Structure 1
Amino acid sequence: MSQVFEPLRQQLIEAAEAFADGPAALPEILTGLVSDVDHATAEPLEIFPVCHHSPASALAMGRRLREKQPKVVYLELCEDLQPLLTELRNCKLPVALQAFASELDGFPADWGPLSVVAPITEASAEYQAIAYALETPGVELVLVDRSSDHVFQWSPDSSEEHTEVEDDLHGDAVGVEIGDLRPRFAELEEHLLHHGRVRHWSEWWDQYVEQPLANADHDTYRQVMTLIGSLFRRLTPEGTRRLAIDEQRERYMWTRIRAHLATSGVDRDDCLYICGAFHAVSRVAEAGSEPGTPDLEITPRTGTEWLYGLIPSSHSAIEAQFGLAPGSVSIAAATWQKGLTRSKLTPFRLEGQKGGRRRARKALPPAPVVPGPTADRLTEYLAAPPPPGGLDDEELRGWCVDVVRLARRNGYLASTADAIAVYETSVLLANMRGRARPTPYDFQDAAVTCIEKDVVPGRRDVRRLCEILLGGDKVGQVGYEALPPLAKDVYDRLEPLGLDLTSRTIRRALIDLVGQPELAPCSRLLWRLKYLLPGPALRTVMGSQRLGEKSVQESWDLDLGRHQRTVIELGYEGVTVEQVLEQRLRRSVRDPKATAAEALTAVEDSLRLLESPRLTDELGVRAVELLAAERTVDDAPLVLGRIRRLIAYFESRPGGALPAWCQQFVTAGYAHYCTLLPTAFADEETGVRQVAAMLGFLFSMESLALSLGCERMQLELAVKQSVPFGPAKTALFWAAGHQLGDLAVADLRERSDELLANPLVVPSFPQYVSGFVHALEPVPRLAPFVVEILSKAFARLPDPVLLPWLPTLITTLKQEAAELVPLLTREAGRTFPGALPALDGWTAPWERKTAPATSMPVLSPDASLARRLVDSHPVTALAVARILGQPDEWSKAATESDSGGPVLLLEQYPDTATAVAALVG
C-alpha cells in the first residue's frame, strides 16, 4: 500500500476517535475508504470510474481520452450488444440498446418476454468512449460485462419482466446488523439532504458532486469518484443478493479483460477500463489485470435466441429507470452544454449522428506527456468548500423572462412582475440554502412559488414548464437504416399515404377506397397494425372493419413517430406484420389457458385481417378441441354470439357452405351443452345468463345440428333431467319447456298469475321476471309474454318490492342483456298505444275477455294427448285438416270457438290424430 494517502488516513482515524460514541465500525469504514482509493489507483490497468448519465463524468472522460489516447477501451456494457454500437450513427440520442427474447429455451416460460436495455445519452461517459473508439483509427472497443443471457442466468428472481439498467451510484443498498451496528444508506441520505438543504438526492448530487467535479483535473475526479464508489460499497451489507450479483459481474468483467490482454498482446498502459464507481473499488479475487489472477468459470449461454436492436429512449424514461428526480436528466443535459462552453472542450461524436453535424474523420493530435505518480487530491477536495456554481445573473434573468413567456403561452396570467419575483425568490432560496448562486433547482422552486396558481389552466404545470425551458423531455429517434426489417417494411408500405411518419406530431391519413383504390393495401396494413399495437400509436377516426363489412372511406390519426419503440419491438417477432399477426393468433389458441371463445375470436380476427383459409381452418379446429375439453359454461354467451356471427358470415358468402370445422363446432357444441345442461340448471354458481346462452345455442342451432346427424332426443332428455335452482332458472326452465312444446303460453300465463297471487312468492317474483327476460335469448317468440309479465309486475307488485328491484332490472338489462332490449322495445311498441289519448280506452290484450267455450266432450287419454297437440300447434292442425279434405268445416269451426276446430278434427279423424300424437311423443 502506497504512502500517498497516509496523511489523510491519519486524519480520518483521529476524526473517528473524536466520535467515540458513534458506531464501532466507523474507523474501519473511514480508513477503508482511503484504502480502496489507494488500491484502485495503484492498479496497472487504469480504471476510470463513472456515474452513468453524469455530465461531470462525460467531461472528465472527454478530457482523459484526449490526454491518454488509449488503444483499447474496456467498457462496462453487455458484451453481446457490441454489434449495435455502429448503428448509433443513424440515431438521434437518447436511444437504448436492447436485447429481446420471446421464445425461451433454458428459462421458465413464465419469465418471458425477456428484455435488456442500456440507455445512451450524449451527456454520458459511455457515449464519449464509444464515439472515440469508433471514430478514431486503430482504437478497439471491447464490451466486457455479462451477456444478456447471463443477466437472467444469474438472476435468482426473474418472475417479472426484466429491464437491465446500468448501476447508478446510489443503488438500492440497505444495511442490516452484522456484528457492529453500521450506518445504513437511507440514514446517510437523510443526513446529507438535511444538512445540504436540498429536497432530493439528485439535487444533492448536482450541488456537491457534479458542479465541483465539472472542471476538476483527472486525478481529483478519479479519486473523488472512487471514494464515493467505496462509500456506497462499504455501506452495502455483506451477503445481500445485490452485492452478490455485483461481485459476480466484476469477476466476469475482469476475466474478459485478462483474456483480451492475453490474446491481443496489448500493453496495459495503452488500455482504459471504464466502469461504474461502485465496481472500480472491487476487492474480489478475480479483480486485477495480473496474469496469475484466477478466472471466473463462465457458464455457456442457454438455447434462447436473442434479438437485438435500438429503441428510442427519453429523459423521463432514464429518470424512472435510475430512480432520479423528474427533470434531473434535462438539467444534466443543460449542465453538459454549459460545461462544454466553459471548458471549450470538443466532445466526441459519431460521424453522421442524427442531431449533430457531420465532420471528417481525422486522427487525434499526439498525446501529451502523462504526469508522474498520483498525488493526494482528496484532502484538498474534502477540506475545501464547494466552488460557487449555479446560474450567473445574466443566465438567471434570461431564464426568468423565458419561463414567464412560456407560462403566458400555457394560460397563466403571468407578467413582468412575476419574472422579477422569480429572480428575487431564486436568489433568496439560494442564500437560505447556503449557496453562492442559485441552482436550476432553486429556480424551479421559485418559479412554482411565484407563478403557480390553484388551478393549472392548461396541460402543463409550472414545474413542467421549467423542464421544457431546460430542454424538455428529450426523446430519441432511431434512423431508418438502423430499423429492423419489419419496421422498414411498415414505413415503405405506408409511403403511398404521403405522410412524414417520423414526425413527432399526429398525422391525419384520409383514405378514399373508392376514388383511390391503390390505397387499399395501406388500409389493410393499418388495421393489422391497430390489432398488433394497442395504444395511441394508431387511432381510427372514421371507418370500421367488422366481420363481413368494408369501409368506403377511412380516417386515421398516426403517431408512429413518438411511438417508434412499439414498431421496433414488433420487429423482434418477425420479418413482416402478417407473419407476426399469424404467430400471435396461433399462440393465442395454443396457450394452456385458451378457451373456445378466445379461439373463435382468433378465427374472426383471421377472417378480418388475413386472407389465409388454411390458418382460419387451423384456428377453427382448435376451437372445436377447446370446446370439447371445457368443463364449465362461463363463456357460453361469448361462444353463442361469436359462432352466430361466423355462421352468418359464411352463409352470406357465395355458395353459402359452412367449412368443415364450423359444422364440427355446431355438432360438438350441441352434444357438449346437452351434457352440461342439467348440471348448469342445478349449479348455484352458474348464472342464469350462462344457462340462457346454452339454451340459445341448442335451440338456434337445432335445425343445423339435426341436419348434421345430431338427435333431438339429446335435448329433450337434457331438459327433462334438469332441476332448476332458484326462481330465475325456474322461469328459464319453463321457457325451455314452451319451446319444446310441453307448455303453452296459456300455461305460462297461468303460472305467473299464480305467483303474483301468492303473498309468499311475491318478493321473489322479480327474479322470475329476470329469468323470463333472459329467456328471450333462446326463445325470442316469448317477447309478447315477457312484455305482459313486466306490465303485470309494474302494476301489481307492492312498492317495497318494486322500487328496489327497478335499479337491478335496469342494470341487468344494460350489462347482461343489452342485445335483448331492442326486442322488448319493439314488442312494447306493438302492444301499447302510440298516442296518449288512446290510453283511456285501451285494454291490455291479456286482459280482454273471450267468448265462453262450448262444452267439451270427455276424451280418452289418447284423444286428450292429441288435443294438446293441436292446441299447441293450430297451424299444423289446420294444414292436416285441409289435407284430409274438409277445410271449410274446419275453418268455420275454428272461427266459432277457440276449441271447436280441434274437437271437430278429433271427432272426425280420431285415429289419425292419435297416431300423430303418438308419433311426436
Structure 2
Amino acid sequence: MMQALQQIDLPQRLADAFTAKSQLAEQQIYFAPIRHHSPACAYALKHYIEQLQPTHILIEAPHGFQDLIEDLLSTQTQPPVAIFAQAKHNNQNKTDDQHLENLPQIQSAYFPFCGYSPEWVALQQGHKQQAQLAFIDLDWSDQCHFKAHLDQISAQQSNLMAERYLAHSQFIQQLAQKLHCRDHDELWDHLFELQSLEQLKNPTQFFNDVFSWCALARLDYEEEVLYREASLHREYCMYQHIQSMRKPEHKLLIVTGGFHTLALIEQLVNPKVKPYLIEQKNKHWQQHAWLIRYSFDRLDALNGYASGMPSPAYYQRLWQDLNQTQADSQIQLYDYLSLLCRELAEKQALEITPYIALKNTAEMALGLAQLRGHYRPGRYDLLDALQSSLIKGEMDDGQHYLWQCIDDYLSGQILGQVAKNQRSPALLQNTYQKIQTLRFKLDDTLLKQRKLDIYRKPIHQQISQFLHLLNFLQVGFAQRLSGPDFIHATGMDLLFEEWRYAWTPAVEARLIELSEQGDQLSQLATQQLLDRQQDLQAQGLGQSAMYTAQLLAQACQLGLKQQLNDLQQQLHHYLEIDQNLASLIAAAQQLFYLWYGRQLLQLPAQALQDSIVFAITQACYVLDQLYDTHEDKIEQNVQNLKALHELITNAQDKFQVSDLHLLDQMYQQLDAGKLDEFHLLKLKGALHTLLYLDQRITQQQLQQHIKEAFSIGSHAEDAVQYLQGVLYIAPEIFVQSDLAIHTLYQLVQHWSDDTFLQILPDLRYIFSQLNPKQSQQISGKIAEYTHLQDASLLEQVYSDISEQDMLHGVQLNRQLETIFADDQLLSWLYKSAPHTPQEHVDD
C-alpha cells in the first residue's frame, strides 16, 4: 500500500533529513510525526512508546498548558475533552501601534483530545511507563501577540491543531489524483489508516512513511508563508525545549504534527539555527487555560474543524476495533452496520428493512475494500456502500434526510467528562452543578426539549428564571421556543414554556469568558443591567421612562429582586420628569405587560397599578405634542393617541376602580380646533372616531363629521387623511356606514384623472389594511352605486388587463384629448360621451 510513497524519488533535502534523523536516533532523540486525531498514528505511537521506553515524551502543545497535564491524566477525565485557552489583550499598557488598540479584547482557542488522539495516547502511555511528559509548543498568548502585529487577529475562536497545509499541498493533491482518491482524507485513509495491524506494530517504518508524506507536503510552502503563520516561531520554540532536554542519559520521543518534523530535525543537526523569537517587550497579552468537556460534533472536520478527521464517532469505533486484536474485522463491520441500520430504521430513514440494508451494505463494503486493496472496509468504502445500497436514483430525489442521518451517526454527539476537582472557574462549576440539579440531561450534545408548567410548579418557575438568565448573558445553553413573554407582549395567554437545550463546548467557553467578571450569574446580569444604564446615560437617554421600564421588565424576568426596588424608584422619578409622549406611553405599556404577568413574576399588583395610572396621567399632560406638524411625526402621533386610549380603556376595565377619570383627563387635553388650525386631518379623523366609541358624540354627529370631510369640493388629500384616521382607529365604523361610503364615492367621482392617480397609492394603502370581509362589503356597496352588482356584467370586465396596461391606456387617452383639442373637437367628444365628468360639464 505504501509503494506509492516508496517509489517517489526523494528530494535531496528530504534525503538529508532522513540521514539526520538516523544520526539523532543514535543520540537517543526519536520522532513520531503524526496526523492529529488519527487512530492509526495513535495505535503505532502506543507500540512505539512500548518499544522505545523513552524517559521523556515531548508533545506539540503550548507549554503554558503544562499545569493541566495532571487533570488530563485524571481517571475521571474521559475524552473528548479540550484545553480552552484565552489570551486577553491588555489595553492599559500604552502602545505606539494604533491598530492594536482596536483588537478584540479576548482571543480564544481550543486544543482538543479524543480517545484516539496521538497526543492523548502519548500522555496516557507515557504516564503508564513513568516517562516525564512535557508540552513544548509556543504559548497561545505569544501567537496572538505575533499575529496582532501582522493584522491577522480574528474575532473567531481558533484551533491550535490546524492542518490546512496538508489539505492544500500540491503534492498531496497530485498524489490523490494519481491514486484515484477524491481528496486528501481518502488518500490518508488509503495509505495510513487502513494499514494492517502487523504494519502498525512496526512503528519505525510507519512513522518514516508519515514523515515522508508530511515533509513532501511542506516543500510546497515558501518561508514567508510559514513565517506569517508563526510556524517558524513555533518550531523554534519547540527546538529550544528539545535542546534543554538533550542530555546523554535522556531518551527523548518527540510527538508533533508531521508538518513540523522536517524543520525540527534540521534545526537539531544544524550548529547555527536562525532564531525566531517573539519579542517580549511591550507584550500586551495574558494567557489563561482550562480543561473543558468537548464533543464529537465539534471535532468533525465536516463541521469546519480545521485539524479534525471527518466522522469522529466512526474513527472512535475504528480505534476500539484496533485494540481488540483477536476480533474478526468482518464481525466488527457487521456489528457496526447493525447498529447503524437499526438507528436509521428508528428514524424512519430506510425504505427497506434493516436486515436487507445491513446485508446489501456489508456485501458492497467488503467488495469495495477487496477491490481497493484494503484489509478491512474503510470510511469511504462504507460511505460508497451505503450510497449504492440505500439510495436509489439521484441524491436530490428526497434522499437528503437519509444521508443526514448517516452523517450524524458517523459524526456522533458524545460529550466528554472532566474531573470534578480539577481547576476551573467557579462560574463554570456553579452553573454546571446548578443545571445538573435542575435535572437537565448533559450526557451529549444532542438538542433536547423541556416543557415547563410555570404557573403551577414553583420549581419550574425557578428553572424558567434560570434559563432566562442564561439567555440574557448569551451563554447559548437554551433557546425558548414558546411561552409568555411579558417584555415583548407575545404569548401572554400561554400557560407553559417550551425550551430547547444542549450542553456544548461553546457553552463552557462562554462561561469561562464570563468568569472574569464574576462567579455568580445573577451578579453578572446585574452588572450588565447597570452597564446598559450607563450606556443610556452616555446616549442622553438615561432619564427615559421607556428604557427604564424595559430594564425593570428585564430584571423581573431574570428574578433580580435586588434591582427591582432601585429601578422602580428610578422609573417613578423619570415618569415625573420625562416630557416625551411616546416614552411615557411605552413605559405604561411595559408596566401593563408586567401587570399581566404579576402572578408568575411574583410582583406586587397594587404598586404596578399605581405606576400604570401615574404613567397614563403624565402622558395626558403632554398631549400638546400631538400638534406637531412634521410629516414624520403625524403618523407616530396617531399611533400614540390610539395606544394611550387603549391603555386607558384597559386600565378602567382591569383595575375596576370607580374614581378613575383618565378618559376625561385625555379629552380635556385635546383641542379639535387646534387640529383644524394645524391641518392635522388624520388626527382629527382618529379623534372623532374615539369620541364616538366612548359615546361622547352620537352616530349622527360622527356621520356629519365624515360627510363634511368627504363633501364635494373638499381637497382630495385632506379627505384621504381624515379617512386614514378613521380606519386606523376603527375600520368597522366606516365599513358599516352607508352614508360614509356613498359620500366618499361621490367625492371620488368628481376627481380628475390626475387627482385620482395622485391619490391612488394612498387609497390602496388604506384599503389594504382591511380584512377580506370588510373589503367585500365596501366593494359590494360600490357595485350598487355603479349598477355593477349583477355578476353577468362583471364577466364583461377584462380582468387580465394589468396596471401597466391601464396606465398606458390613460396616456393614450390624454394624447387623443390633445389631438381633439387641436382640431376644435373637444366639445363634440364630451357631448357624445355617455357619462360626462363634472369638471367638463361646468365648462
Normalised by the shorter chain, which TM-score bucket? 0.5 to 0.7
1:608 corresponds to: 557
1:194 Cα deviation from its structure 2 partner: 3.3
Deviation, 1:657, is: 9.2
Deviation at 1:465, TM superposition (A): 3.5
Match of 1:163 among 149, 157, 161: 157
Alignment match, 1:130? 123
What is the CA distance between 1:97 and its match in structure 2?
1.5
Match of 2:232 in 1: 247
Match of 1:585 in 2: 529
Alignment-derived partner of residue 870 in structure 1:
none
- Residue 154 of structure 1: aligned partner: 147
Change (3 A) 1:519 1:449: closer
- Report how far residue 762 of structure 1 moved: 6.0
Q: What is the distance in 2 between the residues matched to 1:786 and 1:487?
A: 61
**Cα drift, residue 53 of structure 1:** 0.6
Q: Which amino acid aligns with 2:312?
A: V
* Counterparts of residues 799-814 of structure 1 (less than 5 Å): none
Closer, same or farther: CA 561–86 of 1 in aligned 2, 3 Å: farther
Question: Pairwise mapping of residues 535-554 of structure 1 onto structure 2 (< 5 A)?
Answer: 537=478
**Amino acid in the other structure paired with 1:82:** Q
Find the counterpart in structure 2 of residue 854 from structure 1.
none
User: What is aligned with 2:831?
Assistant: none
Q: Which amino acid aligns with 1:447?
A: L
CA contact (8 A) 1:94 1:122 kept: yes
The one-letter code matched in structure 1 to 2:186 is: E
| CA separation of 1:588 and 1:656: change in aligned 2, threshold 3 A | closer
Gaps of 5+ in 1: 1-7, 14-29, 175-184, 345-390, 777-781, 815-820, 829-921
Shift in Å at residue 812 of structure 1?
A: 5.3
The residue identity in structure 2 corresponding to 1:602 is L
2:230 matched to 1:233? no
Q: Deviations over 1:137-192 (max 9, x none)?
A: 46242343223464265244466432221334443887xxxxxxxxxx3x555534
Q: 2:416 corresponds to which letter in structure 1?
A: G
Where in structure 2 are the equivalents of 1:682-761 lying within 5 Å? 682-683=630-631, 688-689=635-636, 692-693=639-640, 752-753=706-707, 756-757=710-711
Q: TM-score, normalised by structure 1?
A: 0.61
Supply the distance in 1 between the matched residues of 2:674 and 2:89 (Cα, whole angstroms).
47
Superposed displacement of residue 341, structure 1: 3.0
SS in 1 for 2:159: coil
- The match for 1:895 is none
Kept after mapping to 2: 8 A contact 1:637/1:689: no
Cα separation, partners in 2 of 1:272 and 1:487, compared to 1, 3 Å: same
Percentage of matched positions with identical amino acids: 16
Q: Tell me which moved more, 502-511 or 212-221.
A: 502-511
Give the structure 2 partner of residue 57 of structure 1.
41
Task: Please give the secondary structure, in 2, of the residue aligned with 1:91.
Answer: coil
Q: Distance in 2 between matches of 1:72 and 1:663?
A: 76
Q: Check if 1:142 corresponds to 2:135.
A: yes
Aligned counterparts of 2:429 and 2:123: Cα–Cα separation in 1? 26
- 1:201 pairs with one of 159, 162, 184: 184
1:94 aligns with 2:91: no
The structural deviation recorded for 1:95 is 1.9
SS at match of 1:282: helix
Render the CA deviation track for 1:653-690: whole Å, top value 9, x for unaligned: 4567978x9989997x9999978x777x4255x68247
CA contact (8 A) 2:85 2:287 kept: no
Go from structure 1 to structure 2 and tell me whether the alpha carbon gap of 1:812 and 1:504 turns closer, same or farther (over 3 Å shift).
same
Distance 1:576-1:784 versus aligned 2 partners, 3 A rule:
same
1:774-785 alignment, distance < 5 Å: 774=728, 776=729
C-alpha distance in structure 1 between counterparts of 2:376 and 2:462, whole Å: 61
In structure 1, C-alpha distance between the alignment counterparts of 2:126 and 2:8, rounded to whole Å: 41
Q: Deviations over 1:59-96 (max 9, x none)?
A: 23222322333333332223333333433433331122
Change in CA separation of 1:636 and 1:558 when aligned onto 2, cut-off 3 Å: closer
Report if the CA contact (8 A) 2:214-2:259 is conserved: yes
2:657 aligns to what?
none
Q: Distance in 2 between matches of 1:169 and 1:769?
A: 68
Question: Structure 2 matches for 1:185-334, cutoff 5 A?
Answer: 185=169, 188=171, 190-212=173-195, 215=200, 217-240=202-225, 243-255=228-240, 257-258=242-243, 261=244, 269-282=250-263, 294=275, 296=277, 297-299=279-281, 301-302=283-284, 306=288, 308-319=290-301, 320-323=303-306, 327-334=310-317
Q: Shift of the alpha carbon at 1:52?
A: 0.7
Q: How far apart, CA to CA, are the structure 1 residues paired with 2:241 and 2:105? A: 28
Structure 2 CA distance for aligned equivalents of residues 270 and 283 of structure 1: 16
Q: What is the RMSD computed on CA atoms of the aligned residues?
A: 6.1
Distance of 1:303 and 1:465 partners within structure 2: 43
The alpha-carbon distance between structure 1 residues 220 and 644, as it changes in their structure 2 partners (threshold 3 A), is same
Q: Hey, what does 1:834 align to over in structure 2?
A: none
For 1:101 and 1:662, the matched residues in 2 are separated by: 52
User: Residue in 2 aligned with 1:642?
Assistant: 590
Q: Deviations over 1:248-284 (max 9, x none)?
A: 33234434555xx2xx786584333322222222389
CA distance in 2, matches of 1:198, 1:626: 72
User: How many residues are treated as equivalent by the alignment?
Assistant: 714
* Secondary structure, counterpart of 2:158 in structure 1: coil
In structure 2, the CA distance between the partners of 1:10 and 1:290, relative to structure 1 (3 Å rule), is same
SS in 1 for 2:323: helix
5+ long unaligned stretches in structure 2: 93-99, 652-661, 750-755, 778-843
Which digits, 9 at most, give the CA deviation of each residue in 1:523-570, with x for residues without a partner?
Answer: 643553454467673657777777999x99986767766447526633
**Change in 2 beyond 3 A, CA 1:509/1:499:** farther
Residue identity matched to 1:31: Q
Say which one has the larger Rg: 1
Q: Superposed, which structure 2 residues align to 1:879-894 within 5 Å? A: none
Indicate if the aligned counterparts of 1:678 and 1:721 stay in contact, CA closer than 8 A: no
* Most deviating of 269-278 and 286-295: 286-295
Matched, 1:116 2:109: yes
Counterparts of 2:385 and 2:161 in 1: how far apart (Å)? 32
1:451 aligns with 2:375: no
Give the aligned partner of residue 476 of structure 1: 416
Equivalent position amino acid for 2:38 in 1:
S
- 1:606-648 alpha-carbon deviations (Å, 9 max, x no partner): 1332344546636985999999999998x99866633665799
- CA distance in 1 between counterparts of 2:377 and 2:36 reads 25
Select 1:76's aligned residue among 51, 60, 65.
60
Q: 1:442: which partner in 2?
A: 381
Q: Is the 8 A contact 1:730 1:768 kept in 2?
A: yes
**Closer/same/farther in 2, CA of residues 251 and 102 from structure 1, 3 Å limit:** closer
Q: Which moved more, 1:187-196 or 1:534-543?
A: 534-543
Per-residue deviation at 1:117?
A: 1.1
1:310 shift after superposition: 0.8
Q: What does 1:518-529 correspond to in 2, within 5 Å?
A: 524-529=465-470
AA matched with 1:450: S
Please give the alpha-carbon distance, in whole angstroms, between the structure 1 residues aligned to 2:134 and 2:550: 51
Q: Please list the CA deviations of residues 832-877 of structure 1 after superposition, one character each: whole Å capped at 9, or x if unmatched.
A: xxxxxxxxxxxxxxxxxxxxxxxxxxxxxxxxxxxxxxxxxxxxxx
Q: Which amino acid aligns with 1:452?
A: I
Q: CA deviation at 1:133?
A: 4.9
Q: Please state whether the residue corresponding to 1:461 is helix, strand or coil.
A: helix
Deviation at 1:124, TM superposition (A): 0.8
CA distance in 2, matches of 1:404, 1:636: 62
Structure 2 residue identity aligned to 1:318? D
- Separation in 1, partners of 2:620, 2:67: 58
Deviation (angstroms), 1:109? 6.2
Task: Name the counterpart of 1:414.
Answer: 352
Indicate if the aligned counterparts of 1:756 and 1:765 stay in contact, CA closer than 8 A.
yes
Q: Deviations over 1:2-37 (max 9, x none)?
A: xxxxxx999838xxxxxxxxxxxxxxxx33443455
Quick check: 2:56–2:251 contact (8 Å CA) kept in 1? yes
TM-score by length of structure 2 reads: 0.65
Distance 1:630 1:190 in 2: 70
